[in-house]
């Protein structure tokens, strides 16, 4: 006879860093060499939806991503599952809760509504969503961003909406390297995000390997972590709290540029930006110079796709500029094919 299934579904959005995380001081625990800060997009745009189910009838843990079964035996997945179960056992001991499910295997189904591993932070939304749904399934309350962090560093920031910082922490076990909301999305309702898909293919060098090589070979990244990011993180928090777009935009662009400079300083060097990315950078600076102030700010993660931050009123003008200079489907060249704006809902 089939026993009842316990099941939970969650969604988690992508986050886009304005102060970048690049480099771990502890590979096992995923502890960063510098703090970072990001904006979580709204639920209805780039997001992951995950359903987790537990039943005594399940013979082993299994996972499906976008409809295809994947191996559950990856270190990061095992880490997240193990940490959640450990916490659930601890709570059970304390509170006599979530007892029945603890012995059960889980089935996990996860879907992205956007291209996976295209430098669009799919792992961030994915692990945030996985950890959140498992925590709910096993009845764990409170912050579990330190567990999401161990799936993918940037995932801890997708556990919260709005403007989110990831603190470095001091504890040896990493328990205080967590995500915290700086301000909710409603704090700055005029802020908009445009995601310009330059290339939807898989990235050349994954972030795990990329940041390892950078930390091992770049002197610039150590300088950045020690002498640049700490004060920049404070300036960025102030810019967000003051809704100061001039400061927010300038720091965002400077920090993206410095992150990519550390990639160039890696030996052998890593190039995430392509010619189209560089043209977008030039276009944004020309546009800002024309207006005599920062009206749009770009940022790039481990890939060529641009993310532009701007204010609501300027969205039509910037979209028109992008469409003019980067017409969709021009020559059917895949690098220039998509220019996708998500003007209204993404923030």
Q: Which residues bind ligand PMV (CB under 6 A)?
A: 17, 20-22, 36, 123-124, 152-154, 207-208, 301-302
CA angle 204, 206, 212 (to 5 degrees): 125
Which residues face 27 on adjacent strands? Answer: none
CB of 207 to ligand PMV, least distance (A): 4
What is the chain's length?
347
Q: How far is the CB of 160 from ligand PMV (least distance, A)?
A: 14
Contact between 236 and 242 under an 8 Å Cβ cutoff? The reply is: no
C-beta of 133 vs 152, nearer to ligand PMV: 152
Considering the complex, what minimum distance in angstroms separates the CB of residue 129 from ligand PMV? 14
Rounded to a whole number of angstroms, the minimum distance from the CB of residue 154 to ligand PMV is 3
Kind and range of the H or E run holding 207: helix 207-217
Residue 329 is given by DSSP the state T
Q: Which is nearer to ligand PMV, 138 or 248 (CB)?
A: 248
Nearest residue (CB) to ligand PMV, 128 versus 134: 128
Nearer residue to ligand PMV within complex by CB, 192 or 203: 203
Give strand ranges (E) for 113-150: none
DSSP 209: H
Q: Which residues of 16-42 are buried (b: 16+ CB within 10 A; e: fewer)?
A: bbbbbbbbbeeeebbbbbbbbbbbbbb
Least separation, in Å, of the C-beta of 195 and ligand PMV?
14
Q: How far is the CB of 123 from ligand PMV (least distance, A)?
A: 5
Q: At what angle do helices 75-95 and 122-137 cross, to 10 degrees?
A: 30
42 vs 123, which CB is nearer to ligand PMV? 123
**Judged by CB, which is closer to ligand PMV: 88, or 236?**
236
């Amino acid at each position: 006879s089939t026993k009842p299934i316990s099941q939970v579904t969650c969604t988690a959005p992508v986050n886009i860093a304005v102060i970048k995380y690049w480099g771990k001081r502890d590979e096992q625990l995923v502890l960063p060499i510098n703090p970072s800060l990001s904006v979580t997009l709204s639920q209805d745009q780039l997001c992951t939806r995950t359903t987790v189910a537990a039943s005594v009838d399940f013979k082993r843990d299994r996972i499906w991503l976008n409809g295809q079964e994947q191996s559950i035996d990856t270190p990061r997945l095992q880490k997240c599952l193990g940490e959640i179960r450990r916490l659930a056992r601890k709570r059970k001991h304390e509170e006599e809760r979530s007892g029945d499910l603890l012995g059960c295997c889980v089935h996990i189904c996860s879907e992205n509504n956007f291209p996976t591993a295209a430098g669009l932070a799919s792992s961030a939304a994915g692990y945030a969503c996985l950890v959140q749904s498992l925590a709910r399934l096993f009845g764990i309350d409170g912050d579990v961003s330190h567990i999401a962090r161990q799936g993918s560093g940037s995932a801890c920031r997708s556990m919260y909406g709005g403007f989110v910082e990831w603190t470095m922490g001091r504890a040896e076990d990493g328990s205080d390297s967590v995500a915290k909301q700086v301000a909710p999305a409603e704090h700055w309702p005029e802020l908009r995000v445009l995601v310009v898909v330059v290339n939807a293919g898989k990235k050349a060098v994954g972030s795990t390997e990329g940041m390892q090589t950078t930390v091992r070979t770049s002197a610039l990244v150590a300088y950045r972590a020690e002498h640049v990011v700490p004060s920049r993180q404070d300036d960025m928090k102030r810019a967000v709290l003051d809704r100061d777009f001039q400061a927010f935009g300038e720091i965002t662009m400077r920090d993206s540029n410095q992150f990519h400079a550390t990639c160039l300083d890696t030996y052998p060097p890593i190039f995430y930006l392509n010619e189209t990315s560089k043209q977008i950078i030039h276009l944004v600076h020309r546009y800002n110079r024309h207006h005599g102030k920062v009206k749009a700010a770009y940022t790039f993660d481990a890939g060529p796709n641009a993310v532009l931050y701007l204010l609501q009123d300027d969205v039509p003008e910037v979209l028109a500029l992008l469409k003019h200079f980067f017409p969709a489907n021009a020559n059917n060249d895949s690098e220039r094919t998509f220019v996708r704006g998500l003007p209204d809902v993404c923030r």
